[in-house]
Amino acid sequence: MATGWKYRTAEAETAEAIDRRCEPRRPLGLRFALMRIRVETELCQGHGRCYMLAPDLFYADDDGYCHPTGERTVPAELADQARRALMNCPEDAIILTEET
Amino acid sequence: MTDAKKYSLEPPEVARNPHDTYREIRDNAPVAELAGRSQTGAVTLSRHEDVMRAFQTPEVFSSDPGAIEIGNIRPLVPLQIDPPHHRKHRKALDPLFAPKQMSKHEPRVRELIRDLIDKVVDQGHCNFHDDIAEPLPSTIFLELLGLPVSRVDEFLALKDGIIRPPARSMEERQEKVKATGQKIYAALEEVVEARMAQREDDFLSTLIDAEVEGQPLSRDDVVDIGYLFFLAGLDTVSASLECMVAFLAQNPGHRQRLVDEPEVIPHAVEEMLRYESPVASAARITAIDTEVNGCPISAGTRIQVLIGSANTDERAWDGPDEVDFDRESKKHIAFGAGVHRCLGSHLARMELRVALEEWHARVPHYRLADGLELQFSQGIRQIDNLKLVW
């Protein structure tokens, strides 16, 4: 079962790109399913699976915990990464909602 | 509580291959006192759901020093501190071990493993424990912490004196552990004293200058953090590397995949951490009367949290006994879970990845020495006699 997952640590450019994408506003005029993601900071214990497996959505902060945590829209091309992060958090700290 | 005295994790063949026993315990005695001299009065939790509850409710399942006898006279910081005080110490320590910090040490780890491999590669055989898995993480850790690497053999003996003391009875064990603990305090206090006079570029110096909520750490705090690092840093990565290489030596298909596709190694590390669970269990003690799976447990009961069983529980995993480097779920709890999740996990992952990369680049084909019966130790699954040939 090949998954084609890539392993990398988010580089500085990636972190900036993620931050730029994390404007909490809701894109206008979307007609497809809208996926939103956030992290329960009280539950996150810094296992690091999310930024390992969803490197375009999360990166490690200076303490090794996932960042960013606030609710935001997941771009359609990153939906798979978002589901992967959800599935792999040992603390069930990632909250993913899909609406139409 | 189910009478589970017939189940034991202590026989050598179970320590070597615990999965069947884990399953029997999960199915028949999920909340139980197991057989074995170290188990008296301790209740073992083995199902993923129960293990997660123990990790995630520290107000019930406390990490108070009463949970385990490891020779210390004060609580280890932060392992044996419960919330809310736990958080402030962890806040000071997390940045030291964050992935960004750890990646700075990767070149040194790579250099050291290459040197260690150089020493054995041409002879066609080695004791992987003595020659690679023990010196690599312990040297790195002593360098990071600031303890003299020249005394590595002495420190390793002290660590083993706590984690696996040679003893015939529980009383003898407790005495040996206590005596060894005093020596560890003395060694740490000596170095902390020296660093208070003159700082170096190491963790102990950083801790001396660290502030927790505006207050400097006390000298005892620094020593108590050092004691925990000493036990954790000198043992767990060695055992993990040994478990992984022993598995790969016996599973040539999996080994060949790492040789052919080194980019799979990070995934292989996660999957072998799950399957082998080198730190097989964690200790807790109940702070209040509670109930698990309908079974009452009174306050003050020692709890053995069976990480290895949770990581192979078919209630939580599809095909848990298959080692699949492409497994979608990497939700394993080999580093524990909840507030006490392993502080050094990012260091451990980096060391394990780099060691497997370098080893398989230089020694792609290897197997266990003929007729070898691997001897795994209890609790933290070290393999002293991991003799390989190639």
pLDDT tens digits for range B331-358: 999 999 999 999 999 999 999 999 999 9
The verdict on whether B41 is a catalytic residue reads no
Window B:264-323, CB contacts with A under 8 Å: 266-267
ipTM score assigned to the predicted complex = 0.87
Query: Residues A37-58: what's their mean pLDDT?
Result: 95
What pLDDT band is residue A15 in, cutting at 50, 70 and 90?
A: confident
The verdict on whether B342 is a catalytic residue reads yes
pLDDT the model gives residue B251: 98
Locus of tokens 């750490």: B217
In degrees, rounded to 5, the angle at the alpha carbon of residue B185 between the alpha carbons of residues B183 and B186 is 65
Q: Give yes or no for residue A4 having a pLDDT over 80.
A: no
Query: Residues B99-125: what's their mean pLDDT?
Result: 96
Q: Does A53 reside within a domain?
A: yes
The verdict on whether B344 is a catalytic residue reads yes
Q: Give yes or no for residue B280 having a pLDDT over 70.
A: yes
User: Is B95–A60 a contact, with Cβ atoms under 8 angstroms apart?
Assistant: no
CB B304 within 8 A of CB B45: yes
Q: Does A17 reside within a domain?
A: no
Which of B97, B103, B339 lies closest to A45 in CB terms? B339
The verdict on whether B349 is a catalytic residue reads no
Phi/psi at A33 (nearest 5 deg)? -55, 135
Which positions in chain B touch A48 (Cβ < 8 Å)? 99, 345-346
Q: How many domains does the structure of chain A reveal?
A: 1
Strand partners, B31: B45
Q: Does A2 reside within a domain?
A: no
User: Is A64–B97 a contact, with Cβ atoms under 8 angstroms apart?
Assistant: yes
Distance CA B109, CA B347 (A): 10
A3 to chain B: nearest residue by CA?
A: B326
Q: Does A71 reside within a domain?
A: yes
Q: Does A8 reside within a domain?
A: no
Q: Give how far B341 is from chain A: nearest CA, Å.
A: 7
B52 to chain A: nearest residue by CA?
A: A91
Helix (H) or strand (E) holding B6: strand B2-8
Omega cis (within 30) before B99: no
User: Is A48–B100 a contact, with Cβ atoms under 8 angstroms apart?
Assistant: no
Q: Does A76 reside within a domain?
A: yes
User: Is A62–B95 a contact, with Cβ atoms under 8 angstroms apart?
Assistant: yes
Locate the DSSP E strands across B246-287: 281-286
Q: Give how far A45 is from chain B: nearest CA, Å.
A: 6
Which residue ranges make up each domain of chain B? 2-373
The verdict on whether B233 is a catalytic residue reads no
Residue-wise pLDDT for B66-109, tens only, equals 888 888 989 999 999 999 889 888 988 999 999 999 999 999 99
Q: Does A90 reside within a domain?
A: yes
Q: Give yes or no for residue B362 having a pLDDT over 50.
A: yes
Residues in chain B: 390
Distance CA B177, CA A94 (A): 42
Q: Give yes or no for residue B301 having a pLDDT over 80.
A: yes
Which fold would CATH assign to domain B2-373?
Cytochrome p450 (1.10.630)
Query: Residues B270-290: what's their mean pLDDT?
Result: 97
Q: Give yes or no for residue A26 having a pLDDT over 90.
A: no
Q: Does A13 reside within a domain?
A: no
Residue-wise pLDDT for A54-97, tens only, equals 999 999 999 999 999 999 999 989 999 999 999 999 999 999 99
**Of residues A23 and B148, which shows the higher confidence score?**
B148
Q: Give yes or no for residue B124 having a pLDDT over 90.
A: yes
Domain CATH for A50: 3.30.70.20
User: Is A88–B329 a contact, with Cβ atoms under 8 angstroms apart?
Assistant: yes
pLDDT the model gives residue B321: 95
Distance CA B129, CA B75 (A): 30
CB B304 within 8 A of CB B283: yes
pLDDT the model gives residue B247: 98
Show the domain range for A81. 29-99
**Looking at A13-22, A24-33, B150-159, B190-199, which range is the least confident one?**
A24-33
What pLDDT band is residue A7 in, cutting at 50, 70 and 90?
A: very low
pLDDT averaged over chain B?
93
pLDDT the model gives residue B231: 87
B268 to chain A: nearest residue by CA?
A: A7
Which of A2, A5, A48 lies closest to B346 in CB terms? A48
Chain B contact probe: residue of A7, A42, A45, A91 with most B CBs at under 10 A? A45
pLDDT the model gives residue B323: 98
